[in-house]
Amino acid sequence: MAERGTHQRPGRWRSGAESRQRILQAARELFGRHGYGGTTVRAIATAAGVDPAMVFYFFGTKQGLLGAAIEMSDNIPPAIESIFTGGLDTIGERIVRTLLENLEKSDRTPLVMLTRSAPTDAQSEALLREFIDREITERLAALLGTPDAALRAGMVNVQILGLAVARYIVRIEPIASSSVDELVARFGPLVQHCLTGRTEPP
């Protein structure tokens, strides 16, 4: 963690790790707010209070920084874990609530960073696709076990991406300003139906 105070003592271990952390923090903030293409290394350095050269010293390239920023936001995995803790019959509500509460906390979640970056950055697009495949589609499909499990999981992904984009990126009303509880009440059952609901006969 980032204590050791604000001591600036070159003699002591003025561990560059602190600068590294500040850079990562600023990067997550700006990548989350303006996307990869809309964020400059210089802006990140300024926000972190360090020199632009340090960014390259620590992370090599801008893409390297993005990669580190995503992996360092490691409070997401536990959140995802909690989704799968509990009965299948209430998983819809847990998915929506977990998603919204996490996005609410900050824009620094990998999901927002990548969703903002994917449209103009091919590598971000690939990272987001892999993230969703690995963390959501596969786990949901395994949980269901039905023949159409993958498609049902895909429908959930549509809800997740749609909510993230509508509420946090494009900010469409009234989705953007509804309360989390209101959205959970609306989308929880919807997601539940995607996973365990009956498909109408053609």
What are the residues binding DNA (CB under 7 A)? Answer: 5, 8, 14-20, 39-43, 50-54, 56-57, 60-63
Strands (E), 11-148: none
Stretch that binds its own copies, among 40-48, 65-73, 82-90, 172-180 (CB under 8 A): 172-180
193 near its own copies, judged by CB under 8 A: yes
Q: Which of 117, 139, 140, 146 binds its own copies (CB under 8 A)?
A: 117
Name the minimum Å distance from CB 129 to its own copies: 5
Residue 147 CA to residue 75 CA, distance in Å, equals 33
| Per-residue DSSP letter, 89 | G
Angle at 110 between CA 29 and CA 74, to 5 degrees: 95
Taking CB under 8 A as the rule, does residue 125 contact its own copies? yes
Q: Which stretch binds its own copies (CB under 8 A): 45-53, 71-79, 103-111, 132-140?
A: 132-140
Nearer Cβ to DNA, position 126 or 158?
Answer: 126
Rounded to whole angstroms, the Cα distance separating 115 from 112 reads: 5
> Which of 178, 45, 30 shows the shortest CA–CA distance to 104?
178
Which entry of its own copies, DNA, none binds 202, CB below 5 to 8 A by partner kind?
its own copies
- How far from chain centre, in Å, is Cα 26? 15
Q: What are phi and psi of 87, to 5 degrees?
A: -70, 155
Contacts of 195 (CB under 8 A, 6+ apart): 88, 91, 92, 140, 144, 152, 153, 155, 156
Min dist. Cβ of residue 76 to DNA (A): 25
Report d(CA 32, CA 105) in Å as an integer: 12
Among 98, 155, 180, 196, binds its own copies (CB under 8 A): 155
* Ranges within 43-62 binding its own copies (CB under 8 A): none
Q: Which spans of this chain sit near its own copies (rule: CB under 8 A)? A: 34-38, 115-121, 125, 128-129, 132-133, 137, 150-151, 154-155, 157-163, 165-166, 169-175, 178, 182, 185-187, 189-190, 193-194, 199-200, 202
